[in-house]
Structure 1
Amino acid sequence: MGQCYGKTNPSPETDAAAIPSSDDLPPPSVTPSVKNTPARALLSPWRSPYPHGGGVTPSPARTATPRRIFRRPFPPPSPAKHIRASLAKRLGRGAVAARAKEGTIPEEGVAAEEEEEVLDKRFGYGKNFGAKYEIGKEIGKGHFGHTCYARCKKGEFKDQAVAVKIISKSKMTTAIAIEDVRREVKILKALSGHKHLIKFHDAFEDANNVYIVMELCEGGELLDRILSRGGKYPEEDAKAIVLQILSVVAFCHLQGVVHRDLKPENFLFTSKSEDADMKLIDFGLSDFIRTDERLNDIVGSAYYVAPEVLHRSYSVEADIWSIGVISYILLCGSRPFWARTESGIFRSVLRADPNFEDLPWPSVSAEAKDFVKRLLNKDYRKRMTAVQALTHPWLRDENRAIPLDILVYKLVKSYIHATPFRRAALKALSKALTEEEFPYLRAQFKLLEPNLDGHVLLDNFKMALIRHATDAMRESKVLDIIHAMEPLAYRKMDFEEFCAAAVSIYQLESLEKWEDIASNAFEHFEREGNRVISVEELARELNLGPSAYSVLRDWIRNSDGKLNLLGYTKFLHGVTPRSSNPRHHR
């Protein structure tokens, strides 16, 4: 991960292996799956700012996985096992073999290098890079290439300093690697208009390399700033960093772009000034994603990877998990999930809970701890979105504009296609909401620009998206969700009904006060929406077969044939497949 120290979370991996001392063989920082992107975007060089000893475990350095001596004949099944196939498919077996020799791939061996297939490495970019730019010193180096300082010799940016990412074509040994580069440039071109997003200038190629010309940021990585502060930030300073991260990620998600490699190394400061703005960089692992799509290719950096990525079914919520990891580091200076091997890290991510008991957490505000916990929920449906996080009590500022949240569109779409009985259940739930939930809902309703009578129509939803659209939104087809909301063309929605439509049952469940909210909501439902319902009708409402009847009977009161409290809360969930509309991605 990054440069902090971490406490080892108990895991079968650490129990099963005898690990050499970290002073002899420092542990790894490895990416589960890699694209054509600099190695520093793949391997996190997080050396500890703390001295060795004193009960503090040194942090992984930029080194290989240590050899492990198992105390029993076979190690436990590894959650990292299937990653080797992803690597081979993306990088080519030769690259995987090279990484295995370096010790960066855990456990099993790989097949011998196969003969490289003939690939078309023509991108259609400009061929006159040398005529327009003069290359200077190297400022970053990675597995596939390096980044250099450069000066523009002519044109719009004459005499301006820029950064040039130089990607070697010789390292592009698979069709996927070539497509990764092509998509990175496409995303950089398509995304525009946010102050915390790196500015793209142009792309070039020659026989040997691809050149991506971007804005030069001379303030260094967020990682370096954390280290310079002794490994963590004061709470108020951490807020300023997290606000910038959430702002740019909310923008990306609205445009239908998931970054997939958020970590302190991928945020650069524009200057050395203490109050300099940050810029999000390195879209080499990023992808366009439709609103109801799930991805299944494993990419990212081990310490920041979300549980659902390891389960191979994820969406933009995986970025939110990574922000939670960064926030945890900023506030306490250690990793929430740590182990000496890559497989151990994954086990920790999947099974362990972050430590909020040890120093300095007792001195951190309750709001900050709640904020981090709501980002690091292992159930992706219960995590806040980036926009919701901006309205959390820890960050809330009435004077700061809140961006549009695509989640509202997803929830409203589901609401308008729901049965009258389900809509009644959701309306009862919205009446039980506490004041804490309303700043977000009011901000989203306001962004739809309600008509003079205080209602919103389909056109309000459509125009709000169009006002925020970039080329990326068109590429990811985010606007297609409007077609799924067609029933709104024949009706209008006031704020009260909007709250019912835009509330997330899963996110409410993550709150400590959920039981009180559910009980209060059920009282409203009893008065206004509960009615006699048969087991067969309830099964049809939930799209379930006769095999579910025995369970559903427990949801209905014998006395009057209406839903009981258990049935009400279960009914609110509905039935959603774990992997809706999966994409078998490359």
Structure 2
Amino acid sequence: MGQCYGKTIPTTDNDNDLPTTIVTVAGQQHQHPQSPLQSSTATTTVKNTPARSSSPWASPYPHGLSSPLPTGVSPSPARSSTPGRRFFKRPFPPPSPAKHIKASLARRFGHPKQPREGPIPEDGTAIEPELQSLDKIFGYNKNFGAKYELGKEIGRGHFGHTCHAKGKKGELKDQALAVKIISKVKMTTAISIEDVRREVKILRALSGHKHLIHFYDACEDANNVYIVMELCEGGELLDRILSRGGRYTEADAKLIIVQILSVVAFCHLQGVVHRDLKPENFLFMSKSEDADMKLIDFGLSDFIRPEERLNDIVGSAYYVAPEVLHRSYSLEADIWSIGVISYILLCGSRPFWARSESGIFRAVLRADPNFDDIPWPSVSLEAKDFVKRLLNKDYRKRMSAAQALTHPWLSSESPPIPLDILIFKLVKSYLHASPFKRAALKALSKAVTENELIYLRAQFMLLEPNKDGCVSLDNFRTALLRNATDAMKESRVPDILNAMAPLSYRKMDFEEFCAAAISTYQLEALDTWEQIGSTAFEFFEQEGNRTVSVEELARELNVGPTAHSILKDWIRSDGKLSLLGYTKFLHGVTLRSSNTRH
């Protein structure tokens, strides 16, 4: 599973900008000169317990930032399963080689002895794994040997390996399969055990998408857990990128990106965030050039609700989103990773590069991708705009996966547009907004570009409007149930629909749906935002602008008297919102929600 757990300790590296994270990493790391694409950072899983005010440890964030959160908002505690303070003695190694290079080095030098794993208590003395009372009984089938015949090994990680297999009986008889074998001996913490349970649970919950690895079975015996899946024989996306000299043509890149966006949109609709999207985790079904891709490896994935924020720092350094490093993130973190993959496909190098993990993190937090060097001058403006809208450091301004499929750059592919979980979140917020805020959003929706309307029309039609051209809560319910897996129907759908209860008593035509499902933040990312905002304000002046007091505005934005001096600048002498006030009012106050997983 390639994971490591640790606590952030305030030590600095040569960058003198971001502290080095101190962890225990299982496995030997080989170091040798690397090209930007012929290397891939090992998956990093750092589950932190935030320091309390009395902690002796310095801030684990970049120089000058005492916290990644806005003033007045405390960092959320880590998950309850996070271990207490642990002290580790070795610094993060530099980025490790890619899988195929690791394998060649292992063949050349032999497999090094693996260091012993396990939790380290505060006094520094090691705990023997056999002394830990860990429940390693998963409740999976115990008859693996009777059902499947194992073949040769096809891949290896620290926690286990993957083998060819063949079904012995039943529907899978004589079918070629892949079996991921996870050693119970190496499950030395409660977290590592829970990770296996969650991976199997997610694989069981997700089903029915052509670009998602198909899960068949989970078995166990005294020594191992066996995850039985379909066999992909075409190799990794990373290998194909390298075989093409490091980059794809725009036409070929589109075919890859459409598949990635399609499966990720499906996962997001089911309430699953992958958290480790990278070329190594997309496999081709066959060696054919036009073979379908499959998304694999849900070992770091998790379930998440629409309003929830996660705080585990997990993923692979080159592909990790800024908000993950800030320990407050949601589905948008996957979109950032897709942006990194898209950048690589189009130019053959990574947008954020450094020789140490702390250096990569610093680049992710502070550097901008380079769109000036070759081959970017010859790349279409639409392609560059597409990548930039995925790699926006403000997660609220990124397109969703479903929305990205409607981007003009991908229009030639005419991809099917899936139902977007984002519209449920936005419509819910609109329904609970004040009449004044809804009027402001209605004016904004009248000024959006045709490109944005393509996405909104597609989502509206997926709700299957009634004969009168309107949608109600029943339309949202039917669309969600039609696209949800059984697991999603049981665990997520009721909560989502309950939050949209105000729609039970009314209907919504397309014009109002546009106002409800539009994102001010995403529009602000467009080059034409100033024109859109100005046009929207003209509509607002005609239909929605009215006299408003500073006190009422403060209540609308849920801020206290300390903000009154700022809000006064938003109101004209006639007591109505100015253009500045209108755009600021749409944007709202940027205090993050405290709804972070505990």
Same fold judged by TM-score > 0.5? yes
Shift of 1:578: 1.3
| Aligned residue number for residue 571 of structure 1 | 585
Whether contact under 8 Å (2:43, 2:316) holds in the other structure is: no
Whether contact under 8 Å (1:39, 1:144) holds in the other structure is: no
Which of the numbers 89, 108, 126 marks the counterpart of 1:113?
126
| Aligned residue number for residue 303 of structure 1 | 318
> Does 2:521 match 1:487?
no
Give the residue type in structure 1 aligned to 2:583: T
| Aligned residue number for residue 315 of structure 1 | 330
Aligned with 1:396: secondary structure?
A: helix
Shift of 1:510: 0.4
> Does 2:256 match 1:256?
no
| Aligned residue number for residue 595 of structure 2 | 581
Correspondences of 1:374-523 after superposition (within 5 Å): 374-397=389-412, 399-474=414-489, 476-523=491-538
> Does 2:198 match 1:210?
no
- State how far apart, in whole Å, the 1-side matches of 2:228 and 2:319 are: 27
- State how far apart, in whole Å, the 2-side matches of 1:32 and 1:180 are: 18
1:415-439 C-alpha deviation (Å, 9 max, x unpaired)? 1111111111001001111111111
Aligned with 2:580: secondary structure?
A: helix
Whether contact under 8 Å (2:42, 2:95) holds in the other structure is: no
Whether contact under 8 Å (2:215, 2:230) holds in the other structure is: yes
Shift of 1:113: 3.0
Whether contact under 8 Å (2:548, 2:577) holds in the other structure is: yes
Shift of 1:192: 0.5
- State how far apart, in whole Å, the 2-side matches of 1:375 and 1:44 are: 32
Give the residue type in structure 2 aligned to 1:570: K
Whether contact under 8 Å (2:178, 2:229) holds in the other structure is: yes
Give the residue type in structure 1 aligned to 2:595: N
Shift of 1:112: 4.7
- State how far apart, in whole Å, the 2-side matches of 1:16 and 1:531 are: 52
| Aligned residue number for residue 53 of structure 1 | none
- State how far apart, in whole Å, the 2-side matches of 1:62 and 1:576 are: 33
Whether contact under 8 Å (1:246, 1:387) holds in the other structure is: yes
| Aligned residue number for residue 348 of structure 2 | 333
Decide whether aligned partners of structure 1 residues 265 and 494 sit closer, same or farther in structure 2, where only a CA change above 3 A counts: same
- State how far apart, in whole Å, the 2-side matches of 1:538 and 1:577 are: 16
| Aligned residue number for residue 373 of structure 1 | 388
- State how far apart, in whole Å, the 2-side matches of 1:341 and 1:379 are: 24
| Aligned residue number for residue 199 of structure 1 | 214
| Aligned residue number for residue 126 of structure 1 | 141
Whether contact under 8 Å (2:318, 2:352) holds in the other structure is: yes
- State how far apart, in whole Å, the 1-side matches of 2:464 and 2:527 are: 33
Decide whether aligned partners of structure 1 residues 227 and 45 sit closer, same or farther in structure 2, where only a CA change above 3 A counts: farther
- State how far apart, in whole Å, the 1-side matches of 2:343 and 2:459 are: 28
Shift of 1:475: 5.9
Which of the numbers 526, 541, 546 marks the counterpart of 2:561?
546
Give the residue type in structure 1 aligned to 2:247: K
Aligned with 1:540: secondary structure?
A: helix
| Aligned residue number for residue 68 of structure 1 | none
Give the residue type in structure 1 aligned to 2:528: K
| Aligned residue number for residue 366 of structure 2 | 351
Give the residue type in structure 2 aligned to 1:524: F
Greater relative contact order (Cα < 8 A, sep 6+): 1
- State how far apart, in whole Å, the 2-side matches of 1:309 and 1:481 are: 25
Shift of 1:103: 4.0
| Aligned residue number for residue 6 of structure 1 | none
- State how far apart, in whole Å, the 1-side matches of 2:33 and 2:285 are: 24
Give the residue type in structure 2 aligned to 1:168: S
| Aligned residue number for residue 21 of structure 1 | none
Decide whether aligned partners of structure 1 residues 31 and 86 sit closer, same or farther in structure 2, where only a CA change above 3 A counts: farther
- State how far apart, in whole Å, the 2-side matches of 1:531 and 1:120 are: 63
Whether contact under 8 Å (2:277, 2:319) holds in the other structure is: yes
| Aligned residue number for residue 181 of structure 1 | 196
Give the residue type in structure 2 aligned to 1:114: I
Decide whether aligned partners of structure 1 residues 63 and 368 sit closer, same or farther in structure 2, where only a CA change above 3 A counts: closer
1:41-72 C-alpha deviation (Å, 9 max, x unpaired)? xx999986x6xxxxxx685467999xxxxxxx
Which of the numbers 120, 144, 157 marks the counterpart of 2:159?
144
| Aligned residue number for residue 276 of structure 1 | 291
Aligned with 1:337: secondary structure?
A: coil
- State how far apart, in whole Å, the 2-side matches of 1:145 and 1:31 are: 24
- State how far apart, in whole Å, the 2-side matches of 1:105 and 1:440 are: 39
Shift of 1:472: 3.6
Decide whether aligned partners of structure 1 residues 494 and 368 sit closer, same or farther in structure 2, where only a CA change above 3 A counts: same
Whether contact under 8 Å (1:32, 1:298) holds in the other structure is: no
- State how far apart, in whole Å, the 2-side matches of 1:436 and 1:62 are: 36
Shift of 1:573: 1.7
- State how far apart, in whole Å, the 2-side matches of 1:473 and 1:46 are: 46
1:391-444 C-alpha deviation (Å, 9 max, x unpaired)? 001112484321000111111111111111111100100111111111100000
Give the residue type in structure 2 aligned to 1:453: D
Decide whether aligned partners of structure 1 residues 438 and 397 sit closer, same or farther in structure 2, where only a CA change above 3 A counts: farther
> Does 2:261 match 1:234?
no
Decide whether aligned partners of structure 1 residues 339 and 62 sit closer, same or farther in structure 2, where only a CA change above 3 A counts: closer
Whether contact under 8 Å (2:340, 2:351) holds in the other structure is: yes
- State how far apart, in whole Å, the 2-side matches of 1:249 and 1:58 are: 23
Decide whether aligned partners of structure 1 residues 213 and 80 sit closer, same or farther in structure 2, where only a CA change above 3 A counts: farther
| Aligned residue number for residue 576 of structure 2 | 562
Which of the numbers 152, 167, 170 marks the counterpart of 2:185?
170
Whether contact under 8 Å (1:138, 1:146) holds in the other structure is: yes
Give the residue type in structure 2 aligned to 1:276: A
Aligned with 2:308: secondary structure?
A: coil
Give the residue type in structure 1 aligned to 2:350: R
- State how far apart, in whole Å, the 2-side matches of 1:101 and 1:548 are: 44
Count, aligned residues: 533
- State how far apart, in whole Å, the 2-side matches of 1:162 and 1:31 are: 39
In the alignment, structure 2 segments of 5+ residues that lack a partner are 1-11, 45-57, 68-76, 97-119
Shift of 1:528: 0.6
- State how far apart, in whole Å, the 2-side matches of 1:379 and 1:472 are: 31
Task: State the Cα RMSD in Å.
Answer: 3.3
Whether contact under 8 Å (2:258, 2:415) holds in the other structure is: no
- State how far apart, in whole Å, the 2-side matches of 1:130 and 1:572 are: 61
TM-score by length of structure 1 reads: 0.85
Aligned with 1:143: secondary structure?
A: coil
- State how far apart, in whole Å, the 2-side matches of 1:266 and 1:46 are: 24
Whether contact under 8 Å (1:427, 1:500) holds in the other structure is: yes
Decide whether aligned partners of structure 1 residues 132 and 91 sit closer, same or farther in structure 2, where only a CA change above 3 A counts: farther
Whether contact under 8 Å (2:22, 2:91) holds in the other structure is: no
Shift of 1:479: 3.8
Give the residue type in structure 2 aligned to 1:233: Y
Give the residue type in structure 1 aligned to 2:427: V
| Aligned residue number for residue 160 of structure 1 | 175
Deviating more after overlay: 319-328 vs 469-478: 469-478
| Aligned residue number for residue 4 of structure 1 | none
Give the residue type in structure 2 aligned to 1:497: E
TM-score by length of structure 2 reads: 0.83
Aligned with 2:553: secondary structure?
A: helix
Give the residue type in structure 1 aligned to 2:382: E
- State how far apart, in whole Å, the 1-side matches of 2:95 and 2:125 are: 15
